């Protein structure tokens, strides 16, 4: 796919090819340029400076991206310092055995092993740049632990299917920051120290600067980039920042699923529209020359709704998770230079139902009343099955006993406020009651024979007469007796938002991070990292794995560009051109 194609849906332009780079007019020259300064971009920039490269980083907002807006979880194992401190037993081999279940070959075994063996060191690297991690550890299954706990299981490692191949270990390392009882916008615990470290090391960050066009030489190697920038320290810059801040404040103040949200979000959208108008009128072109490479780290494309509709429409009804910068521009920049993409039809949908833990003892069924998933699985596993097996439509069926247990489990102080509010909202306003299987089928359109069979097998498994067909532990099985209670937990459930982010992107050389063409050849001078690229988190997401992959892939790209690590680039000569290996022709 190239600019101008029907489903391009991006402002990214075709590359500008130069015959003579020395004759061109450049606003900025640098060794390494990072396009997108979120988790992956910050990791790449810090590592590149550590390796002695001059670094310029661009961000179309203020920096941070989805990492800053996240819950601040970093997936790490293999025996990290924090795991050892908290008494959690783990090893690289144990971590590898587990992650093979989750990643299902999305990267090579060699890459996954390298990720696991370097996981503890990546955590140490972050801590060396000021990120704080620690305990105590939350031992049981949950979507997100109590805010006083900073190590937990953000995955399916406690399920019998996982414990059969790997000893469970808590690998969700939360950055040690608190905002009361909030579990959102905590990513600053990881991102902010990394950003401070980057700026202190001499990384030049240019904000409100949107990468629009790559610059190549005649061989197709990337030698620069053009971007649109809103000039700093101007009235337009200040007004733009104010409008965005007000818009974001309104959307966070009043979530879209609450009554009256449409009017509040309409006000927010007016602020966003004004910000866009300022960009159209005031931005200016800047041209950057790079000597060692451009790293595309601009996130995924979940906020580019036409791209979602074109590539992964089955996830379109979910609630976008990330920031407005997740517009696919990094992916499109790579494609414009001939880069291959993969898994663009894949996204991850987070259907969390625990807490309350009582909900996991119920059953989730599709539109026919057929059960299709282990309700104790982590939210992304449930969401993936819901989209793949049930067309995005699903209902949670509970007994009256489980409803009463749910209320006890979400009592004030027992769970986080957002967990309590969502559960209570659905128990009060979304739950529908029926006195029989027939009544439940009439309310929701289930097939009577199918639902009856589901409930019969559920009762047999709860008594231990049969094994649960989806591997639910015996202690979490429950015989459901009438009256029945059903809650809509579909992808588009109005009172139970299901967050979604994309996981597809550019295909890279897994040893170097270089973007690959369709024929498998690398594009000289072009790298991709984080959710702009296919990586560790591109099959089935577990919390914190994306930020961990951002650090892993960002550092990998910077190391290769600097001439260290596997298959390093050739050194740079005094003119700034690459020096070819003895006996080999030079492209530069």
Q: In the block, which residue shows the tokens 């090819």? A: 17
Q: How far apart are CA 390 and CA 387, in angstroms?
A: 6
Q: 3-class secondary structure for 74-127?
A: EECCCCCHHHHHCCCCCCHHHHHHHHHHHHCCCCCHHHHHHHHHCHHHHHHHHH
| Average pLDDT value for the chain | 93
> How would residue 525 be classed by pLDDT, with cut points 50, 70 and 90?
very high
> How would residue 576 be classed by pLDDT, with cut points 50, 70 and 90?
very low
pLDDT score at 584: 30
**Contact between 284 and 231 (Cβ < 8 Å):** yes
Q: Cβ atoms within 10 A of the Cβ of 82, count? A: 24
User: Per-residue pLDDT for 573 more than 60?
Assistant: no
Q: How far apart are CA 458 and CA 352, in angstroms?
A: 21
User: Per-residue pLDDT for 181 more than 80?
Assistant: no
Dihedral sign for Cα atoms in the order 433, 439, 444, 446: positive
**Is the link from the previous residue into 313 a cis peptide, with omega within 30 of 0?**
no
Report the Cα 350 to chain-centroid distance in Å. Answer: 11
Q: Give percent of the chain with pLDDT exceeding 90.
A: 85
- How does pLDDT run across 201-234, given as a tens digit for each residue? 999 999 999 999 999 999 999 999 999 999 999 9
Mean pLDDT, rounded, for 83-110: 97
- CA-based nearest residue to 308, from 319, 300, 316: 316
**Contact between 76 and 99 (Cβ < 8 Å):** no
Name the range with the highest mean pLDDT among 143-157, 390-404, 558-572: 390-404
Q: How far apart are CA 168 and CA 152, in angstroms?
A: 11
């Amino acid at each position: 796919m190239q600019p101008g194609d029907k489903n391009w849906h991006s402002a990214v332009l075709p590359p500008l090819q130069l015959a003579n780079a020395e004759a061109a007019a450049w606003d900025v020259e640098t060794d390494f340029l990072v396009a997108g300064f979120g988790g992956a971009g910050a990791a790449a920039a810090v590592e590149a400076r550590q390796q002695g490269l001059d670094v310029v980083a661009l961000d179309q907002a203020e920096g941070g991206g989805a990492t800053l807006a996240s819950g601040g979880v970093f997936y790490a194992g293999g025996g990290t310092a924090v795991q050892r401190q908290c008494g959690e037993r783990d090893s690289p081999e144990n971590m590898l055995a587990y992650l093979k279940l989750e990643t299902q070959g999305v990267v090579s075994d060699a890459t996954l092993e390298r990720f696991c063996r370097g996981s503890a060191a990546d955590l140490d690297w972050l801590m060396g740049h000021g990120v704080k991690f620690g305990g105590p550890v939350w031992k049981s299954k949950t979507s997100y632990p109590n805010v006083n706990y900073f190590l937990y299981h953000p995955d399916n490692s406690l399920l019998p299917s996982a414990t059969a191949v790997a000893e469970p270990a808590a690998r969700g390392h939360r950055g040690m920051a608190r905002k009361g009882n909030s579990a959102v916008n905590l990513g600053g615990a990881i991102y902010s120290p990394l950003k401070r470290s980057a700026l202190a090391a001499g990384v030049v960050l240019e904000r409100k600067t949107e990468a629009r066009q790559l610059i190549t030489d005649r061989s197709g190697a990337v030698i620069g980039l053009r971007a649109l920038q809103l000039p700093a320290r101007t009235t337009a810059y200040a007004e733009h920042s104010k409008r965005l801040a007000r818009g974001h404040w309104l959307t966070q103040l009043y979530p879209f699923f609450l009554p009256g949200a449409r009017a509040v979000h309409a006000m927010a959208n007016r602020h966003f529209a004004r910000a866009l108008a300022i960009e159209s009128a005031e931005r200016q072109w800047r041209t950057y020359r790079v000597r060692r490479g451009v790293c595309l780290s601009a996130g995924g494309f979940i906020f580019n709704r036409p791209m979602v509709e074109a590539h992964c429409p089955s996830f379109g009804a979910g609630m976008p998770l990330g920031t407005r910068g997740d517009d696919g521009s990094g992916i499109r920049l790579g494609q414009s230079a001939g880069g291959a993409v993969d898994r663009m039809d894949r996204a991850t949908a987070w259907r969390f139902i625990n807490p309350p833990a009582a909900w996991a003892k119920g059953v989730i069924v599709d539109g026919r009343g057929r059960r299709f998933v282990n309700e104790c699985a982590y939210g992304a596993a449930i969401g993936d099955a819901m989209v793949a097996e049930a067309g995005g439509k699903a209902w949670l069926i509970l007994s009256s006993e489980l409803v009463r247990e749910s209320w006890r489990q979400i009592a004030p102080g027992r769970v986080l406020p957002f967990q309590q509010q969502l559960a209570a909202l659905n128990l009060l306003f979304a739950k529908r009651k029926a006195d029989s299987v027939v009544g439940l089928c009439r309310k929701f359109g289930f097939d009577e024979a199918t639902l009856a069979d589901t409930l019969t097998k559920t009762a047999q498994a709860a008594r231990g007469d049969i094994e649960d067909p989806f591997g639910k532990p015996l202690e979490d099985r429950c015989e459901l007796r009438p009256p029945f209670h059903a809650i809509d937990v579909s992808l588009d459930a109005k009172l139970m938002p299901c967050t979604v982010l994309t996981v597809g992107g550019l295909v890279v050389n897994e040893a170097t991070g270089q973007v690959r063409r369709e024929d498998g050849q690398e594009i000289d001078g072009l790298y991709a990292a984080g959710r702009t690229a296919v990586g560790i988190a591109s099959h089935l997401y577990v919390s914190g794995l994306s930020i961990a992959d951002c650090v892993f892939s960002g550092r990998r790209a910077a190391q290769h560009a600097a001439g260290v690590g596997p298959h390093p680039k050739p050194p740079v000569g005094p003119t700034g051109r690459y020096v070819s290996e003895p006996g080999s022709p030079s492209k530069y």
